[in-house]
Amino acid sequence: MVVHAHRDGAARQISMMFRHRSHVDETVHRVQDLIDTQFTERLPLSLLARTASCSERTVTRLFRDATGLTPLAYQTALRLERAEHLIAQGATTETAARDVGYEDARMLRRLRARTGARATR
């Protein structure tokens, strides 16, 4: 895994992927691996459950117990973190939204406003 050596002063120093990996649940790690590598894609809960070899309800419960987030909240946080990085590098909100898997920038703008991210371009 490549970690950026330079971050601006406002950037978190530990990525989303690392902050929620301190647990020892291998089932949740398998689900996180899938989300981490395909976070720009639509990942139905049924796919995550097949990956974890358990029911949708169980994968949601295990994931929340291990990380404090639902699988969707984790994926959304990964998308937002990557979009913020792209925007900081000069991408427009529209471009960043498409690059992280949103069809248009409206959802990204709402997420950024909800989390207090910097003004959109």
Please, what is the average pLDDT of the chain? 87
Q: What is the mean pLDDT of residues 79-96?
A: 95
DSSP string, 1-70: ----S---TTS-SS-HHHHT--S--HHHHHHHHHHHHSTTS---HHHHHHHHTS-HHHHHHHHHHHHSS-
Give the pLDDT of residue 51: 95
Q: What is the pLDDT of residues 16-69, one digit of tens each?
A: 777 788 899 999 999 999 999 999 999 999 999 999 999 999 999 999 999 999
The domains of the chain are located at 18-115
Domain 18-115: assigned CATH number: 1.10.10.60
The pTM score is 0.82
Burial tier of 85 (Cβ tally within 10 Å: 0-12, 13-18, 19+)? middle
How does residue 10 score in pLDDT terms, banded at 50, 70 and 90? low
